[in-house]
Amino acid sequence: MIRAVVLISLMASLPILSNRLQADTGSCGGSVITLPFNDVMASPFFCQIAAVYFSGLTNGTGDGTTFSPTQVVTREQMAAFISRTIDQSLKRGSQRAVAKKWFTPQDVNSLTLTDIGVSAELVEFDGTDLWVASNGGSVARIRPGDGKLLETWTGASQGHGILTALGRVFITGQTAPGGLFMIDPTQPAGVVTTLSTALGANPNGIAFDGSRIWTANVGSPGSVSIVSLNPTVVTTVSTGFSAPIGILYDGSNIWVTDRDTASLLKLNSDGSIAQTIPVGNFPQHSVFDGTNIWVPNLTSNSVTVVRVKDTSGNPLTTAFVLATLTGNGLNFSATAAFDGERILITNPGNSSISLWKAVDLTPLGTFSTGASTQPFGACSDGLNFWISLNSTSKLARF
């Protein structure tokens, strides 16, 4: 396989047309320019080589004055080409690119803060607005464009986890037995609707599989509750669980982090455990990026990246640990969020957040949220990350 042929095949996924290129020493679509390479004029693939150069996929070989069009491509070089292709596609196709938001806030003065109530917990984006639960029983609705507090509901006793699904907002109440509350966003703000007070003890995380609501219940005994709606029917499964905290659905399976067994659990449809994957100590609220699950481990100061889908998006029969990440400011890490390009981890231990590039696990740095703010929950609206600051009862836009 030669370099030109390999790069031509990769161009199929790039939104660049070679006949738009302007050239002056090689003809492409009737126009001519000069490329920085001195060995491509005779190549029948000159225009395709120009396309991959202008896309940022390659800068050539050696000192950049050659392209080496007939040189064999190694697997190592192929990995670099594919990584750049995916990275460029994600960057150029993101809402951040449309909004010209190429910057990352560098200090606490760059954060937009919204005061939302007592002890902000987890936060969720419904496609239009942000929703934040608090253990004081209130639920806040925030407009992401400017961070304005729009409405506040009450009555969600010990609110913690939050889910937007079916055009409604669902909140877990950390009581024993556990509570499940609901908000209809089309109605005026008021008191939440109580759907159940019969969940497993102290429900934390909450997820939806397209049909049923699932909650991870950390209380004794640890359990998972499966809730069918209309009418509300609760089934609680405790066998095999110790202290479930976080829960998510990846489009195929429900996954639960079990704090006391330091594991990520894949569940069957009846709530039984299909696979156990060892992760770090005290795993918390994870996120799925389309291929991998990112698990922040509170007392290990680490993030475990677990591969659960293949390159075609099909679930793996046996998921496996892809990498364990440390450093990059991790400190009592609590919650992971994904914006389509980057992974954010909240660090209550040192009041910071940590960023990684999802496509290749490259660390992007650590950023302070302010002294003693204790960032906890996090989500993305596709443009910004939003972080609940537990000790100051505020929501920060990053």
pLDDT score, position 260: 97
pLDDT score, position 66: 79
Residue 392: phi, psi to the nearest 5? Answer: -115, 0
Q: How far apart are CA 158 and CA 201, in angstroms?
A: 12
pLDDT score, position 20: 38
Distance from chain centroid for Cα 20:
35
Low-confidence ranges of the chain (pLDDT < 70): 1-24, 29-34, 51-52, 54-57, 64, 76-77, 79-94, 96-101
pLDDT score, position 107: 78
Looking at the 3D structure of the chain, how many domains does it have? 2
Burial class (CB in 10 A: 0-12, 13-18, 19+), 264: buried
178 and 85 in a common domain: no
CATH code at 276? 2.130.10.10
360 and 386 in a common domain: yes
Residue 100 lies in a domain: no
Residue 296 lies in a domain: yes
307 beta partners: 292, 320
At 60 the three-state DSSP class reads coil
Q: How far apart are CA 130 and CA 139, in angstroms?
A: 10
- Tens-digit pLDDT profile for residues 140-174: 999 999 999 999 999 999 999 999 999 999 999 99
Among candidates 280, 274, 308, 180, which has minimal Cα distance to 236? Answer: 180
Residue 102 lies in a domain: no
275 beta partners: 266
Domain hosting residue 42, numbered range: 3-93
Residue 385 lies in a domain: yes
Q: How far apart are CA 342 and CA 363, in angstroms?
A: 10
Q: How far apart are CA 57 and CA 9, in angstroms?
A: 12
Give the tokens for residue 163: 């889910």
DSSP string computed for 184-210: -TTSPS-BPEEEEEEESSSEEEEEE-S
Q: At what angle do helices 3-10 and 75-93 cross, to 10 degrees?
A: 30
Q: How far apart are CA 9 and CA 7, in angstroms?
A: 5
- Tens-digit pLDDT profile for residues 262-292: 999 999 999 999 999 999 999 999 999 999 9
76 and 202 in a common domain: no
Q: Is 281 left (phi over 0), alpha (psi -120 to 50) or beta?
A: beta
369 and 327 in a common domain: yes
Q: Is 23 left (phi over 0), alpha (psi -120 to 50) or beta?
A: beta
Of the candidates 93, 125, 150, which is a domain's last residue?
A: 93
Residue 247 lies in a domain: yes
Give the tokens for residue 125: 């984006």
pLDDT score, position 334: 97
Residue 357 lies in a domain: yes
Give the tokens for residue 178: 């556990």
pLDDT score, position 100: 66
Residue 18 lies in a domain: yes
Give the tokens for residue 55: 């896309």
pLDDT score, position 81: 66
Q: How far apart are CA 350 and CA 342, in angstroms?
A: 21
Question: Omega into 231 within 30° of 0, i.e. cis?
Answer: yes
288 and 237 in a common domain: yes
287 and 139 in a common domain: yes
User: pTM value?
Assistant: 0.81
CB contact at 8 A, 254 and 247: yes
* Beta-carbon contacts of residue 286 (< 8 Å; ≥ 6 apart): 246, 248, 255, 257, 264, 293, 294, 295, 296, 336
84 and 131 in a common domain: no
